[in-house]
Structure 1
Amino acid sequence: MSWLAPGIVAILSGSVILSAVFLYLYAIERERWMGIWGVAWLAYTVRFAVELTQEVTGSHAVGLSIANSLLVLLTGILLLEGSYVLAGKAIPLWHRYVGGVVAVGTIVSAVLGLPAIYALSAVWIFRGVANIAAGAVWYRYIQDAGPWSKITAVTFIIWGIHNFDYPILRGAAWFAAFGFMLGAFLEFIIAFGALIAHFEQTRHRLERSEISFRLFAENARDLIFRTRIKPRFTIEYISPSIETLIGYPPAHFLDNPESMIDLVHPDDRSIVAAGMGGEIIEGPWLCRWIHRDGHVVWTEQQLMALRDESGSVNRIDGIARDVTDRVLAEQAARQSDSRYRTLFERSASIMLLIDPDDGAIADANDAAARYYGWSRQQLLGMRISDINTLSEDEVAVEMTAARTQRRSHFIFRHRRADGDIRDVEVYSGPVPFEGRDYLHTIVHDISDRREMLRSLAESEERYAALFRDSLSPMLIVDPTDAHIVDANEAAAALYGWTARELTALTIGDLSVDSYETVVQEIDSTLVAGGQLAVYHHRSADGRIHDVEVYATPIISAGRTFLYTIVHDITQRSHAERELAVYQQHLEDVVAERTEELTRANAALERASQAKDEYLANMSHELRTPLNSVIGFSSLLARGLAGDLNDEQSRQVTMINTAGQHLLGVVDGILDLARIEAGRIETELEHTDISNLCAKVVKGAEPLAAERGIGLKVEIPAGITAVTDPTLLEQIVWNLVGNGIKFTDDGEVRLVLSASDESLTITVSDTGRGLRNEDKERVFETFVRLEGADGMRTEGSGLGLPITKRLVHVLGGTIELESEFGHGSSFSVTIPR
């Protein structure tokens, strides 16, 4: 094989690279001429693939030769069309006609087997012209591409000239391989030059874009910024408008990017922090910043993310615009709309919102629905002409007047759902709502008012007659100067002037107070809307009258007057002064009696204290002989002084028993005296309450057995409390002994229970019980109640009163439940 095949391979490789370069440029730039030239070089590549096939196989088939020539011709046509597109000119049709003629000639020459110089000349001349045209257009229109752009253009032209020799030298074996090699070299230069030109143009565009961006950013009112997320958050650029926006210069953020988050409003920091981490919000969003002077700045921000190969955000470019005024205006508008909506819907006044274009009722409040008798939804489907008794044309004229002439007050007659026609007073004016102007209409029913006005004229004469003929003195006063405008005959009689003479006077002429004081009273009456007060007025004969004056403002003929009713209370005032003197006397008497009672109470307390001391002293005096009596009777009963007969033993036992009883009474009196004198002392200690109750029950068992009474207990083990065991034992003993004493048949039961804070001891019996009226008296000292047989109960009347007082000393309470004839239950609760 000759060097021809390697030459074809070389130029085939160059064509592949050339088509790939232009198709790549088309994919990037989306320039149509690049795509056309890429397809041209692709056709040229196929042509060399065909020629290589012919060379390798040695085939000289006419079809392959025709395909070869037609692909060359197609390449030329596409190069010319791409050149026109590059030059920005419309593609003419002549070259296609020429190409068609050349194609026909080439096919005929191949079929007839004419020599190559005749068969190929037209094709390669067309191809060469197309190359030269492409080079010229490239030279003229490819700008800012550096020197390689010029080299590329010249290479196009050289290659076009080289195409002219193909029909002549293709058949020379010594030159064909060299020609293909030269063509491959030129293709490589064009491919390389096209890439370099593209890179140079891109660089120039970037430089111009950067300059434009800088000029725009430096002078833009909006904030423009560029940040880099990886490897750490940095601010690459921030426009000077940042200082106008939030008061800090760009250097503040360029030197310390993280400080940006500190200037974001706390409610928006999470969003900005996410953005600094690479998470961005699509579309415009609002962000609040804290200005250097402390006020809040609202911005509308738009971000654009640049991502790396993995899809992660690498850089964020953004623009922020100050929209504080807009946001505040929108907030104010929303608040205003909300207030209007609330006022409209909740108002007790009849309100309609009317479309001025066609009179349609756009909205109606509940008051309107109630007044007209239609539901709110029904009203929204109606026009104002459905309500107004005027015709549609007349209604349209009135609405036009309301909108254009700014008329706001109308009198109409409106129809209600029940057919009733009412006189209405309408206030209407344009208001902006949801981007349009509507007529806000307030309707007042004046049917009653008109009827009232008709009745008023009739009643005025009646009221005038009442004023003139009333027995109460009446004055009409002008509050501006206190002048008396009118007076009735009763007033004339009171003051001693005629009614006409009174109208020449002022209230200052009647009052004993100064004129300035009178004016102040009138002003306060007007402010308060009415006043009742007492004054001193002078009559014509010089006498001073105490008068009670009721004054209230009234409107007449558009002016304000004081309607005044005067009552002469001179006699009443005199009586009140006398009553005040007598009342003071009574208060002095009450004070004197109170002082006497205080002294008597003090004396009573002293007497009570003396009584307590006397009882205590007498009790101690009684204990000494009683102890002797009890002691000696015990010695006699045991026979230490000699044997006693039965009668003597019985009598000695009676002496001992009576002494023991009397000693108990004395001890009770002593205990009561100590308690009431406040001399009883407690000794608190940790006490086993279970053992204490068991001890009392064991001591009471002989007494219960003697009376034939059952003694039941419910005493859980281990219950303790911090208390005075001596006092508590006396309390339990008194209750158990009392139960045994007053129970003739049945049982006495003691129950002990406890909680975390307290314990309760309950002693119940099946004895005689108490009447309801005796339940409180049972705790009074020296009280002995009557039993069911009418007899007084035994005992001294001290046990339960002492028990109650001892319970209170321990900080507890005692409760009683009893039913007459069925027993009693006493519950003592003390803290643990």
Structure 2
Amino acid sequence: VWIITIKKDLTKRRAAEENLKLTLDSLEQQVRERTAQLSDANRDLTDEIEERKQGEQQLRESENRYHAIYDQSPIAIELYGADGTLVHVNPACLTLFGIADIQVIQNFSLFADPNLKDEHKEKLHQGETIQYQGSFDFEKVKVQNLYPTSREGTIWLEVYITPLGIGVEEITGFLVQIKDITTRKRAEDALITAKETYRNIFLNSQIGLFRTDLITGLILDANDALARFLGYQGRNSLLEKPFTISQRYVDPHDREKMVALLQAEGKFQNFEARIRKKDDSIIWLRFSAKLVWEKGWIEGVSEDITEYKLAAKALVDSQSKLQLALSGSETGMWELHIPSMSGEIDNRAAQLLGYEQKDVGSHTTDWDVLSHPDDVPLIEQRLTDYLAGQTTIFETEHRMRHSSGEWIWVVGRGKITEWLQDGSPLLISGTIQDISGRKRMEEGLKESEKRYRDMFEINNAVMLIIDSETTQIIDANTAAIRYYGYTREEITHMFISEINTADPGAIKTDISHAVGQQGMVFQFQHRKKSGEVRDVEVFSGPVVVKGKRLLHSIIQDVTERNRVEESLRQANHKLNLLSSITRHDIGNELQIIFGYLGLVKDTDLNPRIHEYIENAYVSSLNIERQLSFTRDYEDIGVHSPVWQDVNAVIIQTIHNIDVNQIQILALISGVEVFADPLMEKVFYNLIDNAKRYGDTITEIRFSGFEGPDGYTIICEDDGVGIPDEFKSKIFNREYYKHTGFGLNLSREILEITGITIIETGEPGKGARFEILIPVGKFRKGK
């Protein structure tokens, strides 16, 4: 048995194995770490894929929602490319513009739209969103052949244009949203119209309207009516300075009560209070108002009830006097208790009907039995209207049965004299009066009117009845029918301007003057049906027929008279020419006399001779002055009187006279007078006399006023005046300070048309001349 022992050195092997093991462990660790990393990456990738799937799903849902909104939106939407070319529109856009097929607008360019302004285009290119409103006229679309449309008329649009791609390097397109705001625009226009209408009502109402601050009482706004109530000319004068109404209450507690009512209930009605006007006089106003909480102000209406209050007070104060007066008259008293509709009449009222007071029942049905059946509905309606506030007094004329069986006419009048605490009426007090006699007089008046109508018809003078507002001829008498040649049917369908050859506007003005002045005389030319034009003188005055204001015109043909007057004027012209030549020749001879007298006066003669020469010189001056007077006098009455504006004549006179340092005030405007064309000479003489003989004069004043006898022009100065003993004689020729020529001439000029002049000044305080123009010879002009 052999035992072989082999020995080998394993040190290196074991070191290699150890290194291998370490390497394997490291590799295994790296594999595990990489596997973990790959696993994490796989999970991230899986999550990312899931998230991407979810995002894609959300994007599809968002796109579906967008398409649903885009397609179903009531707002018109347009999409344009970056160059402004139309890409797509939604159905609402096609409907809005009446387009059947999108292909007809496929090449439409946003920047070619005529409604898009240059500044809008510039902002869009800069990436700014724009918005504008405007009208869109489909007729222009058709005229310019932009595209076929089924729409017509004009609509209002509100347009928003938004550039797309903001945040990227360049704009990728444009989104246009268009909304039809026609209904809203019309509503806004209607609101503006309503506001203007309300404002007009506010400013022009005859009832006082106001807005005041709740706390201070400061008037924030008011109309003209309230301003007039408070003594101001209008709302502008009332509001030009802060005005606090609370300071104008006679009883300050009234304002406090009104505010308390507003704070408690928000409104009140028919609150009566005394108010001090601008001049501190007191009036009664009835207020109704509401509180505008959000604004802190009061809005309301007011009514001037001063006359009503005074009447009510007078009624209470005079009850005893009334009873005394009624006891001796044909008037009875009655009272009606409103809630029960029962009442009573006094003995006098019963006696009017032939009864005793105890014989007449107390209920209204008892009174109805005595009233004529045909009149009962009228009585009931009048009472209903009065209680509803539609009339200011209950009044009715009706028939009642007398105890004798005959019907008599009575008039019943009444007013509410007592109220309940809630303000409703409690008692009406009134009177009843027998008016049978008046009714008989009215029947007589109707007969009189018939007689007037007959006189109108059979009168030989040409007469027309004209509507003063429309200028239509309402009626014409038989003489007018014959004169003008029209039938009655024809002429009563004509306007006066179809007969009168004057300007229609001037005719309308003359009619207004005739109505306002209670009658005037005019010179016109009227055209007949045959075409012949005749000169006429027309007297026109107002008449009232059936409550309507008309114009009664009497026409007189003055054609022949005018021809005679023209012949007379020509004769006067020749006489004036002869007078002028003669006056000129005498004037030349006078100048020679003045020359010789001047030479003689400078020589050394006997004093007595000098006295004779001086007397001759004075006489020559008088002759020269009388010649000057004849030059003025010869023109009086040569020309027909004309309408002249007083102010214009005075101004023209001032321009033609040297007044030095004297101030002349013309305080007359809008007044015209019918006078000789030499009217200017009258004012010239008055100013010239004042300047010559007023001594201390510094001012001449012209003023005027209208009175019952006509219009009076006042010319007064601050000079020395005229002594009393000369006042009645200064209009005589050559009487006082050589003023007679001018004043005598002035009186002659005025008397041609019936105008008078007198002096009424106070000596030492200035002269004062009053020129009275009678009714019909003046009118209110512009």
TM-score per shorter chain, which class?
A: 0.3 to 0.5
TM-score (normalizing by structure 2): 0.36
TM-score (normalizing by structure 1): 0.34
Question: Quick check: which one's strand share is greater?
Answer: 2
